[in-house]
Amino acid sequence: MALHHRRLAPYRTRRETMMKRPVPVRGETPKERWVDVEGTRTRYLETGQGAPVLLIHGEGSVSEQWYGILEGLATSHRVVAVDLPGYGYSERITDASPAGMATFVWNFARAVGAERPVVVGHSFGGAVAVHMALQRPDHVPSLVLISSAGMGRAINPAMVILAVTPLGDLTKWLIPRLPSGPRLLVASVAVLGASRPWRLPSAWWRSQVKAVSSPEALPTTLRSERATVGLLGQKNLLTGRLPELPMPTLVAWGLQDLLVPFWQGIGARRRLRNGQLKVIPCTGHLMPTEAAGELLKTLRPFLLHSGHSMTTTEQRR
């Protein structure tokens, strides 16, 4: 599988030209890399050295949502944040369900030499992370689920409306055609997803607008929503399979999450064989961006105490 990397620089394809260099973090600037995963050109950010941590973003987002976490873990880990297929800058795949994405991300992990990563998933990415851990439990030394999808039926009614009515199709068609459509959509995500939207960094706003403007982002988001949300709320729940997970698992949730309620995290923790729970006050669904510092206060010691070994192939290339 071909692996290409460079420091963030102008891209050469139409999709790649839609984004500029991300704003540097205080530590080492993440490198933008591209890799071919079984014919799917895939973009990711990487920084740091050490045992690998794989970050999986939420629905409709891109790897830039992890800026604060990339910075905070780079001193002790090799941190890789992938753009899921069809989101932002990676090419699409046919199966946009959590299980289909999980299979793809395992292929991605093998392609970049991170075959036993700590898997960290947010929202839709949390459901992907659970499926990854179920598919290959011996390759996931520890697991982190942040405001994860699939932990209960309750979900904001707006998500149900988008998933089960023609409004979702209308949104997909209308947003690219409105002069400020992507900005309006990102603003609505910020208001619904953050308890204090003004805390969201400017880099997040810019990266989200550019991601939403990419050709495949809205169609992929709608396909993912319809794979996970139905008339009665979330479907294909994962709570019944949580007892199968043997690895240490951290469940983190924002107390003011308006998309998926925090009590789903409490229920998930009770089902896990080796789980921990952290509920962060004054934080909404966009925890990795809105409250990266608070999340790192729990994430760092969790990784330290649930430590895992690093093989030669997992070292940073």
pLDDT reading at 5 higher than 70: no
3 state SS of 77: strand
pLDDT reading at 11 higher than 50: no
* Stretch 89-114: mean pLDDT: 95
3 state SS of 34: strand
191 with 208: CB under 8 angstroms? no
What does the mean pLDDT of the chain come to?
Answer: 88
Structure tokens of 280?
A: 């962060």
| CA-CA-CA-CA torsion sign (293, 63, 303, 73) | negative
CA distance 268 to 250: 10
pLDDT in tens, 53-65: 999 999 989 999 9
- Helix (H), strand (E), coil (C) string for 202-214: HHHHHHHHHHHCC
pLDDT in tens, 281-302: 999 999 999 999 999 999 999 9
For the chain, the domains span 3-309
- CATH class (in words) of the domain with range 3-309: alpha beta
Claim: this prediction has a pTM higher than 0.85: yes
Place of tokens 């019944």: 240
pLDDT in tens, 193-250: 999 999 899 889 999 998 888 888 899 999 999 999 999 999 999 999 999 999 999 9
Strands 118-122 and 275-280 come out as unpaired
3 state SS of 49: coil
CA distance 74 to 29: 10
pLDDT in tens, 161-179: 999 999 999 999 999 999 8
